Copies of this chain bind each other. A is one copy, B any other.
């Protein structure tokens, strides 16, 4: 079993109502790997950085079981850089700066030992890049999940729709689901989107939790109510990473297995927002995951035996 991850490794500058952080470690691939490695340690990352990225950060991820041999390092170039500012409610943000840098002409090349993963998570990236990764695999993984964003729907919808036919699980937020489907009702949106390819659809609603649609089934996992949301950056990637990391650990892709994975994704995301960047995720161990999972059970559990 191995989990192949495509995702950016980048620098972020973040401003929230509670503080500022300048040029900290970020990127979907970073959050996914920190989160998935809470559950599973045969992870292979494919991405690209410049020569400005701190080696200590890469070493820390490698120590968590993340194979970095598919991480291309371009000498004389700069890593991807994003800067954003959150509003008071933390549910909306403005992008201040996007510098593609090494991403501008990235074309992923998978090492040979990357080409037979049992699971694949295509983090948010240009759909054409996501397809390049799929096309280099020797055989189809048992489970393929992907994330995307409105930007790709605006400029590369045809490519996006092609990738969608290849994935089992699509993980997007409510706004993205509405744009992709053209439907306001998330139930209707889910129906339309699953006709595009994915059997499983996860719709993330930020502080309002996440929905899993599969067949005629709908499952909901709440977000943990927190005293403070310090920095939501990366929470969605952390959610996807925890979800796929837990599935990689168990190999159970049944509906019940997916439900459990959704809870663990939420557990990881609830830690992510407690500090700037992936800092909180770096501190976590199994006891932290267990303690918070018990909090989720208290939040969700109700006995209604009388109804059956």
Residues of A within 8 A of B (CB): 88-89, 184-188, 205, 208-209, 211, 217-222, 225-229, 256, 259-260, 262-263, 290, 293-294, 297-304, 307-308
Contact = CB atoms under 8 A, between A and B. Distances in A.
Contacts of A298: 217-219
A8 B263 CA distance: 41
Q: Which of A88, A222, A256, A262 has the most CB of B within 10 A?
A: A222
Given A219-B298, A259-B301, 20 more contacts: A88-B184, A185-B226, A205-B208, A208-B209, A209-B222, A218-B225, A219-B299, A220-B222, A220-B225, A220-B299, A220-B300, A222-B222, A256-B302, A259-B302, A260-B302, A262-B302, A263-B304, A290-B307, A297-B304, A297-B307
A228 B300 contact: no
A230 B38 CA distance: 43
User: Which secondary structure dominates chain A's binding surface?
Assistant: mixed
A295 B89 CA distance: 31
Copies in the complex: 2
Contact of A226 (B187, B217, B228, B299): B187
A300 B299 contact: no
A168 to B, nearest CB: 20
A227 B218 CA distance: 12
Contact of A219 (B205, B227, B302): B302
A67 to B, nearest CB: 27
A67 B75 CA distance: 81
A286 to B, nearest CB: 11
Contacts of A188: 227
Contact of A260 (B184, B185, B222, B304): B304
A285 to B, nearest CB: 15
Contacts of A262: 302
A262 B308 CA distance: 18
A300 B256 CA distance: 12
Nearest to A221: B302
A302 to B, nearest CB: 4
26 contacts: A185-B226, A185-B228, A185-B229, A187-B226, A187-B227, A188-B227, A205-B208, A217-B298, A218-B299, A219-B300, A219-B302, A220-B299, A220-B300, A221-B302, A222-B222, A256-B302, A256-B303, A259-B301, A263-B302, A263-B304, A290-B307, A293-B304, A293-B307, A297-B307, A300-B300, A300-B302
A188 B226 CA distance: 9
Contacts of A308: 294
